[in-house]
Structure 1
Amino acid sequence: MTSFRIEHLPFNKATLRDWALPDGRHSNWPVVYAINGRNQVYIGETLNAVVRMRQHLDSPSKQQEKLGAVRIIVDDTFNKSACLDLESYLIRLFAGDGRFRVLNRNEGITDADYFDRARYRATFTEIFEQLRAQGLFARSLPEIENSDLFKLSPYKALNQDQAVAIEDILEGLFADVERGEGSTIVVQGDPGTGKTVVGIFLMKLLRDIQMSTPSHKSDADSLFSEFFVEGFPELLRDFRMGLVVPQQSLRASIKDVFRRTPGLHPSMVLTPFEVGKSVERFDLLIVDESHRLTQRANQSAGTLNRAFTDITRSLFGADDLSRTQLDWVRAQSAHQIFLLDAAQSVRPADLPAQVLRELVDEARKTRRHYPLLSQMRVLAGGDYISYVRDVLSGEAASVLAFPTYDLRFFDDLSEMATAIRDRDQEVGLARMVSGYAWDWKSRKDSAAFDIELDGIRLRWNRMQVDWINSPGAIDEVGSIHTVQGYDLNYAGVIIGRDLRFDRHRGHLRVDRASYFDKKGKENNPARGLIYTDDDLLRFVTNIYGVLLTRGMRGTYVYVCDPDLREYLRQFFGSNPTPAL
């Protein structure tokens, strides 16, 4: 039986005097509230709803947004911790739903444990459903949680690694800005540790600090309230920031998030070429997926080859072939934050491993290196990420089991495709993915099929941008470039014949003829670089390492090469299947 009630009241001074209830629940009791207008919503918590509403009504920003209604959530069992938790829960859901623009500042979403939290959390779901029935949410809870708006929201609840890293980054950044010194920061972590979350969160947090005024009272319970006081906003006056995202699909998704977030704008999400061409320098550039910045190599279009030359000449006075997009970022900004994982480099044009090592070493020497260790994506935890990488590098010493993770091995591709469709029907966001081990025939002939195995015919992804959420994606196979940086609930990974196993030597090898990504194996004649099979093996195993770590709830595996199938079966084929 629910103990909460949601009171729907007008948001104006005329009715404020009638709000105080005899039992004191509006003036001396912890509550959560949502104030909304036609397109905006603000969520808060307070011990005195009457006083807090009066403060909001006196706020010019709230008046400008024309917020006309308030819903106060009252529960006889509420305490401060439960209210903070519900507040952060609703902020995340409103941001992920997209029905309203969330007006809250990003001071740090609370994610602390407290007594009987599981029981309160069950109530939160009921509160969401009532608010949805009243028209405040457009989508169901699973639809919201599967959306990019939710996954890439700046209103995420940070884990301890992320919170510590962001606080340290802010302290160092403000100190450097005050001294007039530049800085280079590296945030490093495995897949699923939330590097992209840190980048987006920082952009919103810094913008909120920048736009803060003395009239904005910061909540003392927020993680970063210390930066919303006099002195910090002044340091960010006229501070020019940008988020650099090398990958086209992820960049488009983040632009959509910025479009819906007050204080942010899609123009703040940049390509490396836009950074290089910028007439004005940036004060701060945050680079997501920094390992996907490129060195001088043959670009995907002739115009980009010319642009690479022109930018390098403009910034450095000559067409220096050793210059990379990393050099562009550093030349065009006073401060840089690089988010990276060197094991996710998937093409020869990506920054060389040595360059990434030097960048990390530099950050360590200046104490500006922040590792993220906590696994936020895969339910199997960080051990699964390490396990996958050890298996693909031939360094797995033993077979591990992951009882809470749905890891399955298939000998029939049609059976795996059926299982993925079943998971998609159940929870959504289940997709088939693969390395580029088949020619992309359907790109030129829409009637053609690209992958034909075990009586099933499949096509590569038709969409280059936001393929995961596109109509028909469940019937297609996504490449590395459509899923890197994204989460899936379930990933059905087809390991093609580009990766094989040499039974006689006992190690993995690459089959160059079965790898169809021309840019993925192209030599670099301009710099005299020739990529050997060992080099190509590193890129191909990195690709499969990324694909095998996309699934939050589970990963299904099908292997084409018979010898590789038997080798990988021992590692991926004996995991206990959890109850769905």
Structure 2
Amino acid sequence: MANFEIVSFPFTSGGFPRDSVALNDWPVVYVLTGKRHAYVGESHRAMSRMAQHFQIQDRREKLRVARVIIDTEFNKSACHDLEAFLIKYIDGDEQFTLLNLNAGQTSYNYFNRDHYRSSHEAIFEALQQAGLFSGSIREIENSDLFKFSPYKQLTDVQTATVANVAEGLLADLGAGKPSLSVIEGAPGTGKTVVVITLMKLLRDIQSVVEGGEVLEEDIDGPYGDLFLSGFREALAHRRIGFVVPQQALRKTLAGVFRRSPALRGVEILTPWDVGKSDARWDLLIVDEAHRLSQYAAQSFGGLVADFRDITTRLFGAFDPDLTQLDWIRKQSDHQIVIIDGGQSVLPADLPSASIAQLSAEAATASRRYRLESQLRVLAGGDYVEYIRDAVSGVLEHPREFEGYDLRFYDDPSTMHAAIRQQNEKLGLSRMLAGFAWPHLSKRATDSHIDDITIGDFSIQWNRKMKDWVNSSDSINEAGSIYTIQGYDLNVAGVIIGPDLTYRDGKVLLDSANYFDPRGNQRNNNLRKITYTDADIQRFVENIYTVLLTRGIRGTYIHVVDPALREYLRPFFPPANV
């Protein structure tokens, strides 16, 4: 299918070709662009819709050219699908800021969908030639803007979760009572995308109730009722903050938020920002809440005193059992918390008892939501559990994951070469490793040292903490849990280091080969807590589960400990080298 044509004309009051039959009585998709802004829509009465857009001052001032995609085979469903495709890729590219409120509609199937979708790439290329895209489809898909886009197409379950959380929040705001909502999910279930979509939805509702102009199509879709009078007023002039505990992810999301008019003004906060603030929030949304900290040794010595001071100021007296989650709840009336206890990776992370209590409290109030479907790795939903069982030593039977590039390497050098090849082919392919080697090269005097050496193979740890995945040298380095948690790769090459061994039929921690000073912390003297080998091993297993579930298209594995390598070998396909 390549029978489309693109008609262009000025987006002015006199620029619309009103005599065109196709533009007045046929389903089409249109793209309005200005110097820095764009809007994508669909209509069977395009000229009438253009006139409506022109009546909105913001669009009249920011948009200059209209391009209408016409095809004699188009129907309403095909137009919805193409509209959503273009919204997704224009937002993922860096050239334009989208003015759309929603992501379009494409989650449903329709007759001959594959036939219509076969033309999407050709339409993309035609628009690219017209200057609407600066990157290729592959380049856009590999970008953080694309992966964390608030215009991401959600599954039915994700969409329902966003709608239910927002509806519950608006009801609680209207009733004037505090609330807690919890969204749970394993790695790759789309928790961060759900919460970004939710944040944009809440900001869009705020914009409407505070005087923003919109058309009916702007609020068409699964969240339309939330824009109606009676709901939306509850959000007027509310202070909303977005808390991200992880440094690397926080910087990435700040860049994504700057690209969206709705999200640009959102406060992206550390837990420390929340604790130190003299003002409170109406709502705090917390991503990766399992990475919030309890009272324990921190990455910088002065933070221990800050922790004590914040807790004392907020609660009137110091209690060592209070956590950063308690700060957040004290500093806000409403909280939406995204959590996965299986991704806690440090003894200082939020205690498992706190996570369980949080989940139970939300469930009692019917505000607990669970995401189940695996949306990252193409291996499907069973893959994450398979990996978790493998690294904990309870896997009994091998299984195949059709369509997923899973390989087991005896030589890390060969694996790194394969990762380089995939990076040339697909982009966004990187080496990762457990913290089984000290990070010596981070010291200026030792910046030339290779941190990880296995036989003839050697590699440095990541030189950057923030946005390491996209740094120019990352293909030559190994990323740690601190640089990759929360991110996707196309293919991940994972080194399971000598911190995990296999003895007497069990996977065991070798603490002498675990070099994360905060991860291998046995005594929390501040809270008088002692961690056993079994406790630390659980965190290490969580780390490897995270590393081994980053790859969308594939995961390559090398195991250092010989006995563990032989135990795991039957469960993973050998690399064909």
Q: TM over 0.5, yes or no?
A: yes
2:247 corresponds in structure 1 to 248
Corresponding residue for 1:535? Answer: 535
Could you tell me which runs of 5 or more consecutive residues in structure 2 were left unpaired when the two chains were aligned.
Answer: none
**TM-score (structure 1 length as normaliser):** 0.96
* Cα deviation, residue 214, structure 1: 7.8
Residue type at the aligned position of 2:202? L
- Residue 217 of structure 1 corresponds to 215
Structure 1 residues 74 and 268, CA, compared in 2 at 3 Å: closer, same or farther? same
Partner of 1:207: 203
Task: Quote the offset at 1:300 in angstroms.
Answer: 1.0
Q: Which residue of 1 aligns with 2:487?
A: 486
TM superposition shift of 1:574: 5.7
Q: Which amino acid aligns with 1:262?
A: P
Alignment of 1:342-357 (within 5 A): 342-357=341-356
Shift of 1:266: 6.2
Conserved 8 A contact 2:170-2:232: no
**Is 1:438–1:514's contact at 8 Å kept on the other side of the alignment?**
yes
The amino acid that maps onto 1:57 is: F
- Pairing 1:16-415 to 2, within 5 Å after superposition: 16=16, 18-21=17-20, 24-65=21-62, 67-106=63-102, 109-212=105-208, 213=211, 215-219=213-217, 221-265=220-264, 268-415=267-414
Q: CA deviation at 1:434?
A: 0.6
What are structure 1's unaligned runs of at least 5 residues?
A: none
Secondary structure of 2:8's counterpart equals strand
In the TM superposition, residue 307 of structure 1 has moved relative to its aligned partner by 1.7
Q: Amino acid of the residue matched to residue 412 of structure 1? A: D
How far is the alpha carbon of 1:221 from its aligned partner?
A: 4.5
How far, CA to CA, are the matches of 1:98 and 1:113 in structure 2?
A: 30
> What code does the residue aligned with 2:138 have?
P
- Say if 1:5 and 1:74, in contact at 8 Å, map to a contact too: yes
Q: What TM-score, normalized by structure 2, do the two folds share?
A: 0.97
Distance 1:177 1:51 in 2: 38
Q: Deviations over 1:141-173 (max 9, x none)?
A: 100000000000111111011111111112211
Shift of 1:278: 1.7
- 1:447-499 per-residue CA deviation (whole Å, 9 max, x = no partner) reads 11111224222000011111001001111000001000000000000000011
| Alignment check: 8 A CA contact 1:20 1:50 kept | no
- Supply the distance in 2 between the matched residues of 1:20 and 1:159 (Cα, whole angstroms): 40
**Is 1:496 the counterpart of 2:497 in the alignment?**
yes
Q: For residue 215 of structure 1, report the CA deviation from its aligned partner.
A: 4.7
How has the CA–CA distance of structure 1 residues 189 and 258 changed in structure 2, closer, same or farther, with 3 Å as cutoff?
same
Tell me the alpha carbon deviations over residues 243-288 of structure 1, each in whole angstroms, 9 at most, x when there is no partner.
Answer: 1110000110000011110021265211111111122211111111
In the alignment, is the contact (CA less than 8 A) between 1:111 and 1:157 conserved in 2? yes
Q: Give the distance between the partners of 1:525 and 1:266, measured in 2 at CA.
A: 40
Hey, what's the Cα distance between the residues in 2 that align with 1:439 and 1:394?
Answer: 25
Tell whether the 8 Å contact from 2:87 to 2:104 is kept in structure 1 after alignment: no
Which residue type is aligned with residue 208 of structure 1?
Answer: D
- Distance in 1 (CA, whole Å) between partners of 2:303 and 2:367 is 33
Paired amino acid for 2:475: I
User: Are 1:241 and 1:285, in contact at CA under 8 Å, matched by a contact in 2?
Assistant: yes
Letter in 2 for 1:339: I
User: Partners in 2 of 1:514 and 1:267 — Cα distance?
Assistant: 42
1:309: Cα distance to partner?
A: 1.4
Q: CA shift at 1:19, angstroms?
A: 3.5
For the 8 Å contact 1:250–1:466, the answer to whether it is kept is yes
Fraction of identical pairs, as percent: 50
The 3 A distance-change label for structure 1 pair 267 and 211 is: closer
Question: One-letter code of the match for 2:449?
Answer: A
Question: Which letter does structure 2 place at the counterpart of 1:94?
Answer: I
Partner of 2:569: 569
Residues in 1 aligned to 2:227 and 2:251: alpha-carbon distance in whole angstroms: 30
Alpha carbons 1:32, 1:73 under 8 Å: kept:
yes
Q: 1:564, CA displacement in angstroms?
A: 0.4
Give SS of 1:463's match.
coil
**2:477 is aligned with what amino acid?**
E
Q: Which secondary structure does the structure 2 equivalent of 1:520 belong to?
A: coil
How many aligned residue pairs are there?
570
CA displacement 1:99-148 (0-9 Å, x = unmatched): 11111113665322111111211201111111111111111110000000
- Give the whole-Å Cα distance in 1 for the aligned partners of 2:82 and 2:352: 44
Quick check: 1:375–1:382 contact (8 Å CA) kept in 2? yes
The amino acid that maps onto 1:529 is I
Q: What code does the residue aligned with 1:542 have?
A: N
Cα-to-partner distance string for 1:384-436 (whole Å, 9 max, x where unaligned): 01111122223323211112111100000111001111111110011000111
Counterpart-to-counterpart distance in 2, 1:166 and 1:437 = 39
* AA matched with 1:218: E
Kept in 2: contact 1:251–1:269 (CA 8 A): yes
